[in-house]
Amino acid sequence: MTTAAPAGHPTTTGPSKAQLLVGAGAFVFFGIGGFFLSTLLLPCVWLAGFGGVASRRKRCQRVVSWGFGCFHRYLQAVGLATVEPDLRNGAASPAVYVANHPTLIDVTVIMRHIPEMCVVVKTAVYFNPILFLLHVCCGNIRVPRSMSARIGALQTLIGRIERGHSVLVFPEGTRSPIGEMHPFQRGAFEVAARAERPIQPLAINVSEPFLAAGSSWYHVPASCSLIRLESLPALAAGSSRRTSAAVASAIRGALD
């Protein structure tokens, strides 16, 4: 008896050995590369560098961007994914970057092409032992679960911007459903309004579902997934409710 796949999810008959090998290879490559960057290279870059904290963070972010580029070259070589950037629109730095979140590798896609930014990550991701020092060296910000602690995180974000860092936020708070988006939370837009910095929307469009919400790591696309990264016209910060709705509408329009 065949079980129908849930709406929005590709029907699968179980992974082949080739799919298991390619999917596992991507995770192994990322894990080894992340360990090398986090525990060996980035601490040396931080300690051997010059300048203040902001300068050291930006150097580490550029190194991470280079590492993500190596990871993407692997994904393209094995036929998993290729990235097509279109970054003709760009806000003056520092800015608050916001994006939809269709795949597990969206941070790598964005930082590969826009290197200098601090990223908002979940607490579990921040304290991942493989990547912990990477987050510290790059100035990434963790989002606590409690609302009272989140107020402190918003202040940390504003502080990063005041020190000249752009920040990246996924306002859905988790990966997008396939072909859809969750409602946007307003924290990123509140930060932009308080810091008086522009909002730079980014639209990520995926031709084939790849490491999407609800998918297992071995559910690789049947053909190479084309990931399009598009920068949309920047918006001036205003009311967080109105700006959130405007950005969500712009990103949806770019995905249609």
- The pTM of the whole model exceeds 0.85: yes
Distance CA 230, CA 227 (A): 10
Length of the chain, in residues? 256
Whole-number pLDDT of residue 212: 87
Is residue 38 pLDDT above 80, yes or no? yes
- What average pLDDT does the segment 164-174 reach? 94
Distance CA 185, CA 171 (A): 5
Higher-pLDDT residue of 161, 9 = 161
Whole-number pLDDT of residue 255: 85
Higher-pLDDT residue of 1, 165 = 165
Whole-number pLDDT of residue 33: 95
- What average pLDDT does the segment 125-132 reach? 94
Distance CA 256, CA 254 (A): 6
For the beta carbon of residue 119, count every other beta carbon within 10 angstroms: 22
E strands, the chain, in order = 81-86, 96-99, 118-122, 141-143, 167-169, 199-206, 225-231
Strand partners, 227: 83, 206
- What average pLDDT does the segment 129-135 reach? 95
Whole-number pLDDT of residue 4: 46
Q: Work out the pLDDT band at 93, boundaries 50, 70, 90.
A: confident
Is residue 145 pLDDT above 60, yes or no? yes
- What average pLDDT does the segment 200-228 reach? 87
Strand partners, 228: 84, 205
- What average pLDDT does the segment 163-173 reach? 94
Q: Work out the pLDDT band at 23, boundaries 50, 70, 90.
A: confident
Q: Work out the pLDDT band at 146, boundaries 50, 70, 90.
A: low
Higher-pLDDT residue of 66, 78 = 66
Is residue 5 pLDDT above 50, yes or no? no
- What average pLDDT does the segment 85-105 reach? 91
* CA 227 to each of CA 43, 84, 100: distance values in angstroms, whole numbers, following the listed order: 31, 6, 12
At 138, which helix (H) or strand (E)? helix 132-138
Is residue 233 pLDDT above 80, yes or no? yes
- What average pLDDT does the segment 173-177 reach? 91
Q: pLDDT averaged over the chain?
A: 88
Domains of the chain as residue ranges with CATH: 17-255 (3.40.1130)
Name the least confident of 137-141, 213-217, 241-245.
Answer: 213-217
* Amino acid (1-letter code) at residue 124: A
Is residue 102 pLDDT above 70, yes or no? yes
Task: List the one residue out of 110, 123, 87 whose CA is nearest residue 230.
Answer: 87
